[in-house]
Structure 1
């Protein structure tokens, strides 16, 4: 059984809704899943087979800077060879932040399985994609 951490930051609840769908998909595929708000992360990347990371676009299409960006910077050196999925919502722009984030993770030699973005509140298609992401990481 694979062990998956779903680590997220959510301001309005949209990214947490996506995190819940990732958890549902992973559990449905038989994974042991821990859902963790980024502020509560005290884990070690090495303890997990895969990571699903969720963060909305903030400011000029960037990761949330007070909690999520420092967390991601801290784990970047530990992502080599890890299966990783990235997800989050955005309100404006074109979703460039996700492509930048994916490139950063791949630059750390992570195996980025998929990315999922939703404009504002995730619709049924976005939630289905999140469930599929969870299953792919399981």
Structure 2
């Protein structure tokens, strides 16, 4: 059975709001989804899922959050990505999205197939940005 899984880290709640929007899109396509904060996630969850969305806000000099998300991403780089679809998302308050471009390139180099370019939203997802989250969820499970 196809399993949709959203794993995220959120410092201010903006990336969590994006995760909830992506979940709405997945559910709109009639699929079940599990949303998990990265501190409660593990590698086996990713191995078992077929459709995965990973979310993290930009931190510091446009990098992934270093205490929880970065180690988690490192832990899943070596899984078999061949039968999985991946979406990346996150919010930011400064910069130009370099962290998302780097993350996308990193996951593709691990063999992951991204359904769309990583979705980066400035601050809180509202209006058009929230619709992009919903669309990303739909694309994840229909790709």
Shorter-chain TM-score above 0.5: yes
**In structure 2, what is the Cα distance between the partners aligned to 1:132 and 1:80?**
22
**Residue 104 of structure 1 pairs with residue 106 of structure 2:** yes
Determine if the alignment matches structure 1 residue 41 to structure 2 residue 8: no
Gap regions ≥5 residues in structure 1: none
Task: Please say if 1:118 is aligned against 2:104.
Answer: no
**Gaps spanning 5+ residues in structure 2: where?**
none
Q: Which runs of 4+ in 1 moved over 3 A?
A: none
RMSD between superposed Cα atoms in Å: 1.2
Matched, 1:128 2:131: yes
Q: Any residues of structure 2 matched to 1:73-92 within 5 Å, and which? A: 73-78=74-79, 80-81=81-82, 82-92=84-94
Give me the TM-score of the superposition, normalised by structure 2. Answer: 0.92
Cα distance between partner residues in 1 of 2:91 and 2:70: 16
Question: Deviation digits for residues 86-126 of structure 1, max 9, x if unmatched?
Answer: 00000111011100000001001100112211111112111
The number of residues matched between the two structures is 138
